[in-house]
C-alpha cells in the first residue's frame, strides 16, 4: 500500500478486500486500462505466483508517471483478494465478487477450517461488506484488463522462450466429497464388519486418476490435494473422510465427463461399503478465450522488442478468467523454471521478469493511447 501511496494513486478497497488504484489519463471519464493480479498464496507456495503481476503493474504505472507519459485512458492497478481459495476453498473469490458472480449470500456459505464463513471473517476484518455495491464493477468503465503471470508449467522453459501470449484459460470445477461410515476400534473390529470411509476415499482417488488419464481428453487434469479424516487417530477406524477434487480442462466437456462418471462411481462405492456420501461442487469457472485485440497488442509489443515468444493456453486459472467474458482481457506469461509452481522452488529468471514487465508496460501504453 505504501508503494501505491507514494505514487499518489487514488486507492479504493471494496467490500471483500479487492484493491484498486488509479492513475488519471487525459480523458478522465475514459474506460480504464486495468492491470494487476493477486498477492495471496497457497500454503507452502512460491514467491512469484500473483505477486509478479502486481509488482509488474505497479512498475509499469511508476515508469509511466516518472517519464510523464500522458495516456488518453486512465490506468488502474488491481489486486484481487483470495485468488487461491486457501481460506475458503473457492478460487477467484475476490474477482468473482467484483464481477457479481458471488453475492453476500455465497460468502455466507463458504467456510474456513475453523468453520467461520467468509462473510463473518470479512466483516470481522472491518471491510464494508454490507455496502458491497459501493464499488460494483461496471464493464463500461473498463477498456481492457492485462495480467502478467508466471506460466506455472514447463512449456516456455523447455522451449527456451521468454514470453507466452495466452489465448485461452482452462475452466475448473472444485468439489468436496465426503464419505461417512462407522468409527470403531482398529484392533477389535473384524474386517468383514467394517464400514470404513478411508478405504472408500482411496478407491475414489484411484478412480479419479484413471478417469482423467483414460476417459476424458489429453488436456483434462484432476487432482486430489486435500484429505481430512475424523477422528484422525491411528487406532480408530475413521467415521468420516473428506477429499477435495480439482478438475480442469480448456474444453468444458472434459470437465463434465469427469464429474458425471465420478458421481456414478461414488454412488457405487458408498453403496458397496454401506456408507453415506456427499458430492458437492463448491466452486467453478468456465474455460475462456482471451480477446484477440489484446492478444494482438501484446504480440505487436513483443515483436517490437524482439523477444522470443509463443501463443499458448493456461492450465492454471487466473482472475483474468472472471473478467474475460465481460471486458477484453489478455495475459502475458514468463517461464517457470522446470515448470514448478505452488512450491518454494517456484522460480523465474530475472531477465525474463524484466522482459515480461517491458511487454506489460508497452501493451498498457498501447491500449491506453
Question: Which option in Mn ion, ligand HGY, none does residue 91 bind, with CB closer than 5 to 8 A by kind?
Answer: ligand HGY
Take residue 259 and report the three cell numbers written for it: 464429474
Residues in the interface with ligand HGY (CB under 6 A) total 5
In the complex with Mn ion, the residue whose CB is nearer, 259 or 316, is 316
Residue 132 DSSP symbol? G
Contact status: 317 vs ligand HGY (CB under 6 A): yes
Nearer to Mn ion, 106 or 246 (CB): 246
Residue pair 129/107 in contact (Cβ under 8 Å)? The answer is yes
Binders in 122-161 for ligand HGY, by CB under 6 A: none
Q: For residue 10, what are the β-bridge partners?
A: 22
Phi, psi torsion values for 25, nearest 5 degrees? -115, 180
User: Which cell numbers in the block locate residue 352?
Assistant: 525474463
DSSP code at position 211: I
In angstroms, the CA 319 to CA 96 distance is 8
Least Å distance, CB 154 to ligand HGY, is: 15
Residues 261-280, mask of contacts with ligand HGY (x by CB under 6 A): --------------------
Judged by CB under 6 A, the residue of 87, 91, 284, 336 near ligand HGY is 91
Q: Binder to ligand HGY among 14, 40, 76, 84 (CB under 6 A)?
A: 84
Residue 54 interacts with, from Mn ion, ligand HGY, none (CB under 5-8 Å by kind): none
Looking at beta carbons only, is 183 or 331 nearer to Mn ion? 331
Name 240's bridge partners: 180, 230
Residue 363, all three cell numbers: 501493451
Which residue, 221 or 266, is less far from ligand HGY as judged by CB? Answer: 221
Shortest gap between Cβ of 246 and ligand HGY (angstroms)? 7
316 touching ligand HGY, by CB under 6 A? yes
Nearest C-alpha neighbor of 331 from the set 369, 351, 302: 302
Shorter beta-carbon distance to Mn ion: residue 49 or 157: 49
If you write DSSP's letter for every residue of 50-93 in order, what string do you get? THHHHHHHHHHHHHHHHTT---SS-EEEEEESSSS-TTTS-TTH
Stretch that binds ligand HGY, among 24-32, 83-91, 132-140, 195-203 (CB under 6 A): 83-91
Give me the residues that bind Mn ion (CB under 5 A), please.
49-50
Nearer to Mn ion, 42 or 178 (CB): 42
For CA atoms 34, 40, 45, 48, the dihedral sign is: positive
H/E segment holding residue 277: strand 276-285
Q: Which of 142, 70, 62 is nearest to 360 (CA)?
A: 62
331 is a site residue for ligand HGY (CB under 6 A): no
Q: Give me the least distance between CB of 6 and ligand HGY, in Å please.
A: 29
Return d(Cα 193, Cα 201) in angstroms, integer. 18
* C-alpha pair distances (Å), 238 with each of 160, 188, 233, 255: 49, 14, 8, 30
Looking at beta carbons only, is 71 or 87 nearer to ligand HGY? Answer: 87
Single residue of 14, 40, 83, 147 touching ligand HGY by CB under 6 A: 83
Q: Which does 295 bind (CB under 5 to 8 A by kind): Mn ion, ligand HGY, none?
A: none
**If you search the block for the grid coordinates 488509479, which residue do you land on?**
22
Closer Cβ to ligand HGY, 31 or 94, answer by number: 94
Binding site for ligand HGY (CB under 6 A): 83-84, 91, 316-317
Amino acid at each position: 500500500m505504501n508503494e501505491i501511496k507514494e505514487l499518489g494513486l487514488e486507492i479504493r478497497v471494496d467490500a471483500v478486500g479487492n484493491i484498486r488504484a488509479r492513475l488519471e489519463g487525459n480523458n478522465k471519464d475514459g474506460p480504464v486500462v486495468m492491470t494487476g493480479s493477486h498477492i495471496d498464496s497457497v500454503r507452502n507456495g512460491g514467491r512469484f505466483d500473483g505477486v509478479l503481476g502486481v509488482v509488474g503493474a505497479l512498475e509499469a504505472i511508476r515508469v509511466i508517471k516518472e517519464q510523464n507519459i500522458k495516456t488518453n485512458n486512465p490506468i488502474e492497478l488491481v489486486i484481487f483478494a483470495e485468488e487461491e481459495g486457501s481460506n475458503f476453498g473457492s478460487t477467484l473469490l475476490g474477482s468473482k465478487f467484483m464481477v457479481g458472480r458471488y453475492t453476500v449470500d455465497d460468502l455466507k456459505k463458504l467456510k474456513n477450517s475453523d468453520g467461520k464463513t467468509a462473510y463473518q471473517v470479512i466483516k470481522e476484518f472491518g471491510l464494508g461488506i454490507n455496502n458491497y455495491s459501493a464499488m460494483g464493477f461496471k464493464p463500461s468503465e473498463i477498456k481492457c484488463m492485462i495480467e502478467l503471470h508466471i506460466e506455472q508449467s514447463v512449456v516456455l522453459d523447455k522451449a527456451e522462450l521468454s514470453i507466452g501470449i495466452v489465448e485461452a484459460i482452462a475452466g475448473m470445477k472444485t468439489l468436496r466429497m465426503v464419505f461417512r461410515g462407522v468409527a470403531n476400534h482398529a484392533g477389535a473390529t473384524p474386517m468383514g464388519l467394517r464400514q470404513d470411509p478411508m478405504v472408500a476415499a482411496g478407491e475414489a482417488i484411484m478412480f479419479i486418476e484413471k478417469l482423467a488419464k483414460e476417459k476424458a481428453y489429453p488436456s483434462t487434469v484432476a487432482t486430489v490435494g486435500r484429505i481430512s479424516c475424523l477422528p484422525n487417530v491411528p487406532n480408530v477406524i475413521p467415521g468420516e473422510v473428506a477429499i477435495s477434487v480439482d478438475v480442469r480442462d480448456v474444453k468444458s466437456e472434459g470437465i463434465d465427463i469427469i464429474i458425471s462418471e465420478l458421481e456414478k462411481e461414488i454412488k457405487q462405492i458408498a453403496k458397496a461399503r454401506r456408507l453415506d456420501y456427499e458430492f458437492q461442487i463448491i466452486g467453478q469457472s468456465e474455460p475462456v478465450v482471451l480477446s484477440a485485440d489484446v492478444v494482438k497488442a501484446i504480440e505487436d509489443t513483443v515483436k517490437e522488442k524482439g523477444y522470443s515468444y509463443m501463443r499458448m493456453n493456461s492450465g492454471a486459472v487466473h482472475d483474468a478468467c472472471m473478467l474475460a467474458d465481460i471486458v477484453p482481457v489478455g495475459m502475458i506469461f514468463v517461464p517457470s523454471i522446470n515448470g514448478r509452481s505452488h512450491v518454494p522452488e517456484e522460480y523465474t529468471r530475472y531477465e525474463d521478469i524484466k522482459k515480461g514487465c517491458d511487454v506489460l508496460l508497452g501493451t498498457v501504453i498501447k491500449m491506453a493511447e
